[in-house]
Each structure stands twice: as structure tokens, then as C-alpha cells.
Amino acid sequence: MTLVLATDDTGGPEIFASVQGEGPSAGEPTAFIRLSRCNLACVWCDTAYTWHFTGDERPHLSGETYDRKANQVTLEVADVAARITALGQRRLVVTGGEPMLQAAALAQLLAMLPDVTVEIETNGTAFPPPKLDVWVDQFNISPKLAHSGNARELAIVPGVLRRYASDGRAFFKFVVAEPADVDEVREIVRANALPRGRVFVMPEGTDSETLRRRQEWLVPLCLDHGFRLSDRLHIHLFGDTRGT
């Protein structure tokens, strides 16, 4: 079985070690694997090279599209497992793209890494099959708001979100660009019974200046509504770069 991965700046698979930049595990030493392809198309996506390939007419703020052949690589699952093991980390973050699109192969991969703590970053539109679910220690769910440009019926799937809400492994991270976005977060949290103690709000931005400017109004809103704030540590450390 194979996995389709995004590529790093060298054209190799985007498998690397760094510190987790977002959410409840921020700062943790971590191995990362970035998978290719996504079922959504966020206009502000900072990993558009995983899905916005030449010929894809879905809008993106950059207007840039990517050559699929240059930005995808297919590897045998055993090869991926060996590369992750060689990084020597006890935590693995599976990100994308949308990992649930490759659930069967991902389940096979994680079965080869039984001693690793596994986080999956997902947009929350699908729940993992049992063969994958059994290997996951933490779900980082990032439901997409209206400003992402995705149709509401595609981005917010109540049955899936409510099921994740009852799972103590699931944390919810909402990307916001203006104060009004927090009102939408509140509505989704209320409608789907998401536990506030596991809800993060994170400013959208790919540079430190933008993140800090948006945190100025976001922090008071976190205090008002009981949400947790997530920074983007990797942006401050490395900028908007692949493999970091």
C-alpha cells in the first residue's frame, strides 16, 4: 500500500522533525508527515501546494497553482515508517492536505509505529474508520469558517463534529481573521456541543506581524468567551516555509 505525500523544497517527501507550532501540543518535539490532497479549498490556505494544482479553478488568495508532479510523491508505507522512525521522535503529527482521504494506508502506517504518540490534523468533515481510529492519541480538528471560502454544507458536518465532541481525544481549532469570525465560532460551538475547554482560536496569518496584530483583539475575546488562544510558533521561528 502507498501514501501520497507533499514534497519539501528539495522535491523529497515532506517528512521532518520540528516542534509543534499550534494547539494543545505546541512546543512538543515532533515528527511530521504532510500528506497531499484535500477535499476543501480554503482561500487563505498556507499549504495550497498540497491541493491547488494546475487546472484547479477553485480560488486562492495567491492566485498561484502548482504542478502536481513536482509537488506530490508516492511512497510505500514501509518506506514512510522507516523515515519517520529515523527521526527519533516520540510524537508524530499527521497533517495535510486532509489525512482522512488516505485513511486505509494511514492506518497501515500507524500500525508500524506502535510506540509513537499520534496526532492527526483534520478539517473535521469525516470520522476515521476503526482500523485508523485505534492508533490515534489526539485529533486536532480545524473546522473551516465562512471566510475560508468553502460552502457551509461542505465545511461543517454536524454529525461528525458532534461525534468528535464526545471524544476526549479531540481538540478544536478555529482560524479567525477578524472579530466577527469569533461570533461564528461561538455559534458552531453551541450548535455542536463542543467543549469550550478544548476549543482554540488561532489568528490567520503567515508572518509574525499579522499574527501579533490579530492577537491584540483576539485575546480579549478569548477572555470574554472562554476559548483558548493558539499561536503559530513555527511562523515566528521559521517563517512560512515547508518542512518546518
Per the listing, cell 461542505 goes with 154
Q: Give the confidence band of 105 by pLDDT, cuts at 50, 70, 90.
A: very high
Asked whether residue 97 is domain-assigned, the answer is: yes
Per-residue confidence (pLDDT) for residue 78, from 0 to 100: 98
Q: How many domains does the chain have?
A: 1
The rounded percent of the chain whose pLDDT value lies above 90 is 100
Residue 229 to residues 24, 76, 198, 203, Cα–Cα distance (Å): 10, 38, 11, 9
Per-residue confidence (pLDDT) for residue 35, from 0 to 100: 98
In 3D, which of 23, 19, 20 has the Cα closest to residue 174? 23
Radius of gyration of the chain (CA): 17
Cβ–Cβ < 8 Å for 135, 110: yes
Per-residue confidence (pLDDT) for residue 90, from 0 to 100: 98
Asked whether residue 33 is domain-assigned, the answer is: yes
- Letter string b/e over residues 197-214, b meaning 16 or more CB atoms within 10 A of that residue's CB: ebbbbbbbbeeeeebeeb
Q: How many CA atoms lie within 13 A of 29 on its CB side?
A: 5
Asked whether residue 231 is domain-assigned, the answer is: no
Asked whether residue 171 is domain-assigned, the answer is: yes
> pLDDT tens, 11-65?
999 999 999 999 999 999 999 999 999 999 999 999 999 999 999 999 999 999 9
Burial class (CB within 10 angstroms; exposed 0-12, middle 13-18, buried 19+) of 182: buried
Per-residue confidence (pLDDT) for residue 38, from 0 to 100: 98
What CATH number does the domain containing 24 carry?
A: 3.20.20.70
Domain range holding 89? 2-176
Cβ–Cβ < 8 Å for 160, 98: no
> Averaged over 123-139, what is the pLDDT?
98
Rounded CA separation 41/24 (Å) = 25
- Output phi, psi for 100, to 5 deg: -65, -15
Asked whether residue 75 is domain-assigned, the answer is: yes
> Averaged over 204-215, what is the pLDDT?
98
Asked whether residue 72 is domain-assigned, the answer is: yes
> pLDDT tens, 163-202?
999 999 999 999 999 999 999 999 999 999 999 999 999 9
Per-residue confidence (pLDDT) for residue 4, from 0 to 100: 98
Q: Is the dihedral of CA 230, 233, 235, 236 positive or negative?
A: positive
> pLDDT tens, 86-96?
999 999 999 99
Helix, strand, coil shares, percent, the chain, to 5: 40, 25, 40
Asked whether residue 115 is domain-assigned, the answer is: yes
**Axis crossing angle, helix 77-86 with helix 103-111, rounded to the nearest 10:** 50
In 3D, which of 71, 210, 188 has the Cα closest to residue 227? 188
DSSP string, 35-91: B---S---TT-TTGGGT-BTT--S--TT---B-HHHHEEEEEHHHHHHHHHHTT-SE
Asked whether residue 146 is domain-assigned, the answer is: yes
**Axis crossing angle, helix 208-225 with helix 179-191, rounded to the nearest 10:** 50
Q: Give the confidence band of 98 by pLDDT, cuts at 50, 70, 90.
A: very high
Instruction: Give Cα 164 distance to the centre of its chain.
Output: 15
**pTM (2 d.p.):** 0.96
Rounded CA separation 203/206 (Å) = 10
